[in-house]
Amino acid sequence: MIEMQDVWKVYPNGTAALNGISVKIDKGEFVYVVGPSGAGKSTFIKLMYRETRPTKGHIFVNGFNIERLKDRKVPLLRRNIGVVFQDFKLLPKLTAYENVAFALEVIGASHRQVKRRVGDALDWVGLGDKMHMLPSQLSGGEQQRVAVARSLVNNPAVIIADEPTGNLDPDTSWGIMKLFQRINERGTTIVMATHNRDIVNTMRKRVIAIEAGQIVRDESKGSYGYED
C-alpha cells in the first residue's frame, strides 16, 4: 500500500529532515508515527501525499510512484488519499456540507448522488444535523469531524493524519480516535503522526518512531515511549 525505499529529504535551506527512510505499510494497517518535535514526522507524512518531494529515494502510495508523478496527476492522487490536519483546514466560508461536497470527486455523479454521499459521510461522523453550519459555528471537535467526513467521502484506500487531535481536549480526542478506529475496521489503511501518549499506549497499534530523520523503532503493538 505504502512503500519508501531509502528516502532522503533535504529542504532548500539545507535542513536535512529525513536521512534514509525505508518502510512498508500494508493494506489495512493502522500506524502511529511518533517522535520528538522536529524529528521529521510531518515531512514523512507530507511526502506520502506529495505535498513535498523527496530529494532522493522511491515512494509508492496506493500504486502511485510519488517522485515520478506529474503535477497534473496530483489531484488524482489526492482523491485516493484522505488527509486530516491538526488545524482542520476547512474552508471558512463554506458550510460543513459544502466543505465535504467540495472534496468529492463529482465526475459522472448526479446531484442526487452527491447529496447522498455527502449526507452519508456527515451522518457517519455524527454531524448530520449540523451540515448547514459554518466551521465558525462548530466546536473544534465538530470541525475535525467535518474534516474526517471530507477525508473519507471519496472512499480512499489510505487516510493520512498529521496530529489530528493536537488542538483538541482529551475527551474530544477520544471521539475522533474512535472514528479512525471504525474507518480502519472497514479496511482503510491509516497513518497518523501523533503526540498523544495515552491514545497510542491504549490502542496498541503499529508504532514507528522517528528521531533526527531516521526510523529508530518499529513495533507491531507498540507504545508511545516518550515522556512528553
Footprint on residues 39-58 left by ligand ADP (CB under 6 A): 39-43
121 forms part of the interface with ligand ADP (CB under 6 A): no
168 forms part of the interface with ligand ADP (CB under 6 A): no
Stretch of 53-61, 88-96, 135-143, 153-161 lying at the interface with ligand ADP (CB under 6 A): 135-143
* Residues 6+ positions from 162 with CB-CB distance below 8 Å: 41, 42, 45, 46, 83, 84, 85, 86, 192, 193
135 forms part of the interface with ligand ADP (CB under 6 A): no
Q: How far apart are CA 209 and CA 124, in angstroms?
A: 31
137 forms part of the interface with ligand ADP (CB under 6 A): yes
155 forms part of the interface with ligand ADP (CB under 6 A): no
- Choosing from 25, 81, 83, 138, the residue that interacts with ligand ADP (CB under 6 A) is 138
Instruction: Report, in Å, the least distance between residue 140 CB and ligand ADP.
Output: 6
Q: How far apart are CA 9 and CA 57, in angstroms?
A: 9
Question: Which residue lies nearer to ligand ADP by CB, 39 or 100?
Answer: 39
Instruction: Report, in Å, the least distance between residue 174 CB and ligand ADP.
Output: 13
Stretch of 62-70, 85-93, 96-104, 131-139 lying at the interface with ligand ADP (CB under 6 A): 131-139
* Residues 6+ positions from 146 with CB-CB distance below 8 Å: 88, 90, 96, 99, 100, 122, 125, 127, 135, 138
Q: Which three-class secondary structure state does DSSP give residue 63?
A: coil
Q: How far apart are CA 16 and CA 13, in angstroms?
A: 9
User: How many other β-carbons are positioned within 10 Å of the β-carbon of residue 218?
Assistant: 14
Instruction: Report, in Å, the least distance between residue 105 CB and ligand ADP.
Output: 28
Question: Which residue lies nearer to ligand ADP by CB, 16 or 109?
Answer: 16
* Residues 6+ positions from 110 with CB-CB distance below 8 Å: none
Q: How far apart are CA 211 and CA 14, in angstroms?
A: 18
Contact residues for ligand ADP (CB under 6 A)? Answer: 11, 13, 15, 17, 35, 37-43, 130, 137-142
